[in-house]
C-alpha cells in the first residue's frame, strides 16, 4: 500500500511562478536553472519529473549532422 507524504506547500505568485519547497527540490535533485516537467496521470494526479538533458551531447550531435550536411541551419 502506498502512503502519501507531504513534502511541503506552494502558492502561485505573479505570472504563474511557483517556488518548489526545499524538500521537493532535494527529492528531485534539481538546482537553479534546471528544467522539469509536469505529467498528468490517468487518475488525475500531477507528477513532477526532472528533465534529463545533456547539452554537450546534443551540441556534438548537431555538429556531426552539420558536417554530414543533414542539419539545416
pLDDT over 70, % of the chain = 92
Task: Please check whether residue 1 lies inside any domain of the structure.
Answer: no
Task: Give yes or no for residue 43 having a pLDDT over 70.
Answer: yes
Task: Please check whether residue 5 lies inside any domain of the structure.
Answer: no
Helix (H, G, I), strand (E, B) or coil at 41: coil
Task: Please check whether residue 39 lies inside any domain of the structure.
Answer: yes
Task: Please check whether residue 58 lies inside any domain of the structure.
Answer: yes
Is there a contact between 37 and 49 (Cβ–Cβ < 8 Å)?
yes
Task: Please check whether residue 7 lies inside any domain of the structure.
Answer: no
List helix spans (H) across the chain: 22-28, 55-67
Burial-class residue 50 by CB neighbours within 10 Å (0-12, 13-18, 19+).
middle
Task: Please check whether residue 24 lies inside any domain of the structure.
Answer: yes
Question: What mean pLDDT comes out for the span 24-29?
Answer: 87
Identify the residue with better confidence: 66 or 26: 26
Is there a contact between 42 and 34 (Cβ–Cβ < 8 Å)?
no
Task: Give yes or no for residue 73 having a pLDDT over 80.
Answer: no
> In terms of Cα–Cα distance, which of 38, 58, 61 is closest to 48?
38
Amino acid at each position: 500500500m502506498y502512503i502519501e507524504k507531504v513534502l511541503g506547500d506552494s502558492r502561485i505568485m505573479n505570472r504563474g511562478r511557483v517556488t518548489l519547497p526545499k524538500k521537493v527540490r532535494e527529492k528531485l535533485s534539481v538546482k537553479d536553472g534546471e528544467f522539469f516537467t509536469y505529467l498528468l496521470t490517468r487518475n488525475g494526479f500531477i507528477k513532477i519529473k526532472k528533465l534529463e538533458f545533456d547539452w554537450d551531447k546534443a551540441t556534438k550531435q548537431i555538429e556531426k549532422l552539420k558536417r554530414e550536411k543533414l542539419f539545416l541551419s
